[in-house]
Amino acid sequence: GKNGVPVAENFRLEQSTIADTIQAGQVRVRTLYLSVDPYMRCRMNEDTGSDYLLPWQLSEVADGGGVGVVEESKHSNLVKGDFVTSFSWPWQTVAILDGNLLQKLVPQLVNGRLSYFLGAAGITGLTALLGIKEKGHVAVGANQAMVVSGAAGACGSLAGQIGRLEGCSRVVGIAGTDEKCSILVQEMGFDAAINYKKGNVAEQLRELCPGGVDVYFDNVGGDISDTVISQMNRNSHIILCGQISQYNKDVPYPPPLPPAIEKIQKERNITRERFLVLNYMDKQEASVLQLCQWIQEGKLKVRTLVVK
């Protein structure tokens, strides 16, 4: 159903055998990393709410972003030992895949941290960087204040840092624990962070952004976003990245704003356009290289949670 939180009983683990031989153009890969992401909740609905996300089929293997190593190849551009990635990697330990659908990776670009290709140097980092570049209208020297919700998440933690690198003069994060807030400020260079589970978010935001908010990187939607939008300046910009607070609810994407907030948005001419990173794949290569450069220079701090 659309309304509801996924539980363990919605999934099962199977053991099966794999074909001994691979066909021309195929490779056999061993899986090293799989990415678990919020959008996957949408794929558990028959109607995913978007034309680019296909629903997971019952009794089929789940899939998503993955990284692995080639164990055998009958593809002209891939050899045994190559590291590869795909956005539709099946959740299985070993797989036979079409070599044309795989992208070859250069581990040196991320100092050997292959999991980064699913995060800071992958679709997550691209979403943060291209979201800010395409929809944030950040300009060096314009004295802009940026707020990031879900700021300690994979995308948010990068977005705040990239906002600063692109020219924002003030970056404030919103997260759900004191520990997350302290990591954002001490490790990732945010000017301040608000624990939305403590105190009054609207009051704290007014203190931290006395000149109002110019750019809002929105990962969560819901009440938090309503609070931020009500403090946004005229001609400011919302980067509509995700609405994670709404994914277990039966609402369209992007969810409509409450009438009072929609009125503010229209009166102040605040942009709130749906942002889809797949529409900017012509900029992928240059953007990934930029992200890797920042990682190598220590300008982009990365935290990854890896579960075996």
Confidence of residue 16 (pLDDT cuts 50, 70, 90): very high
Statement: the pTM of the whole predicted model exceeds 0.85: yes
**What's the average model confidence in pLDDT over 265-273?**
95
CB 69, CB 32: distance < 8 Å: yes
| CATH number (domain holding residue 273) | 3.40.50.720
**What's the average model confidence in pLDDT over 3-13?**
92
Q: Residues 132, 242: one domain? A: yes
The predicted-structure confidence for 66-79, as pLDDT tens digits, reads as follows 999 999 999 999 99
Could you list the beta-strand ranges (E) of 79-206.
83-90, 94-98, 103-104, 145-149, 170-175, 192-195
Q: Residues 258, 127: one domain? A: yes
* DSSP tag of 108: G
Which residue range forms the structural domain that includes residue 225? 123-278
CA 173, 179, 184, 190 dihedral sign is positive
**1 has pLDDT over 60:** no
Measured between alpha carbons, how far is 113 from 98 in angstroms, rounded to an integer?
25
Is residue 116 included in any domain, yes or no?
Answer: no
The predicted-structure confidence for 55-66, as pLDDT tens digits, reads as follows 999 999 999 999
Q: Residues 78, 138: one domain? A: no
Q: Residues 37, 172: one domain? A: no
Q: Residues 81, 134: one domain? A: no
| CATH number (domain holding residue 95) | 3.90.180.10
Q: Residues 18, 129: one domain? A: no
Q: Residues 82, 129: one domain? A: no
Q: Residues 154, 212: one domain? A: yes
Is residue 306 included in any domain, yes or no?
Answer: no
Confidence of residue 251 (pLDDT cuts 50, 70, 90): confident
Is residue 295 included in any domain, yes or no?
Answer: no
pLDDT for 254 equals 78
Q: Residues 157, 81: one domain? A: no
Tell me how crowded residue 14 is: count the other CB atoms within 10 A of its CB. Answer: 7
Q: Closest Cα partner for 224 from 148, 305, 117, 130?
A: 148
Q: Residues 199, 146: one domain? A: yes
pLDDT for 174 equals 98
Is residue 273 included in any domain, yes or no?
Answer: yes
Indicate the number of domains in the chain.
2
Q: Mean pLDDT in the chain?
A: 94
Q: Residues 101, 137: one domain? A: no
Tokens at 255, concatenated = 């969810």
